[in-house]
Amino acid sequence: MAVALIARELFTGRDIQTGKAVLIRDGKIAGIVSAEAVPAGYRVRQLNGYMLAPAFMDLQIYGGNGRVFSAEMTTESLEAVYEYCLQGGCTQFMITLATNSIEKMIRGMEVAREYRNNGGKGLLGVHLEGPYINPAKKGAHLEKFIKRATVDEIRLLLQHGRDIFRMMTLAPEQCDRECIELLIQNGIVVSAGHSNATYEEAIDGFYQGIPAATHLFNAMSPLQGRQPGFVGAVYDNNDVRSSIVCDGVHVDFASVRISKKIMQDRLFFITDAVAEVQYGEYVHVFKGDRYTLPDGTLSGSALTMLQAVRNGVEHAGIPLPEALRMAALYPATLLGLQDRWGVIQPGACADLVLLDEQLNLLQVMVAGEE
């Protein structure tokens, strides 16, 4: 099917254009042309909305629609998370598992592979957050599962996670150099987090090739005058990207604004979303605008990616085009997928969102179809 979509404004991921039509054929972007110059063979659709933009990508999400994957490791659970993502304009997601037993993590990767092999949509892969983190910055993670990394155990994860294990959060001070190198050599996106590293330890990890940090400010040593800490190292290394949870709970909106001024295109949004669950290793309790453990420890957000974008614009003063990039192009760039997602250009996947002036979601399109 070939269709030409026309909206009042088109955000390509690079700039805003008007008077243009997006050509879609076989689920991919075929081109951008003047609205008056749509080629023969394309069905023209005039969209009743404000802006057509690339759909979003979430590199850290645990659950949604009443399901948390670690508590219910089924393909149905992943389907529920995917549907939750769509409600926030997100078509691609990285299902995340918090610190747990290696057996549980392997099982999670097996189920994720089954979901994808059976036609499950949207799953980029598995993000293992832990178990190689610092217990001093464990946050809501269970200390009984926290450990130092070993080469043999990482090889085991790589063996069982082939083609589905895509990302790992670890504390660089908890991992020997060969462990980090092994992950990077096997194509795993290593993200430093849940770390009590000094500035020097964090910088050393980044020099080893760690390209990213996990949920800036949360569970990491802070920036101080005499001790720049982990946050200072992230600010200071121009090659390191970081996710941030823009809900006003995990991080104050002023901190989002300040970090954006410093980091520019290196900062991107995640939801870190969970759902209420009363069983399994991690019990999450809904508290209106967040989730906590039963003891009150912050354990996850109630965000969607679209709400993160809105919050960035309305509360952190981030211009709309840049907030949209933080939810789409920038996470895609971290994964090396910036030519497939986060942009509207020839050859990219036709995963799109249609927004109104108040940034409400009017439509989500996956491969050009609603």
Catalytic residues: 272
Q: Is 2 exposed, middle or buried (0-12, 13-18, 19+ CB in 10 A)?
A: middle
Closest of 128, 255, 143 to residue 193, by C-alpha: 128
- Residue pair 83/125 in contact (Cβ under 8 Å)? The answer is no
Closest CA to 246 of 310, 332, 167: 310
The H-or-E segment that residue 39 falls in is none
Q: Distance between CA 31 and CA 4 in Å, rounded?
A: 9
- Take residue 183 and report the two structure tokens written for it: 């992950």
Q: At what angle do helices 253-263 and 229-236 cross, to 10 degrees?
A: 40
191 vs 270: CA distance, rounded Å: 13
Rama region for 179: left / alpha / beta (φ>0; ψ in -120 to 50; rest): alpha
Which of 257, 365, 259, 246 lies closest to 309, judged by CA?
A: 246
Distance, in Å, from the CA atom of 141 to the CA atom of 137, rounded to the nearest integer, reads 9
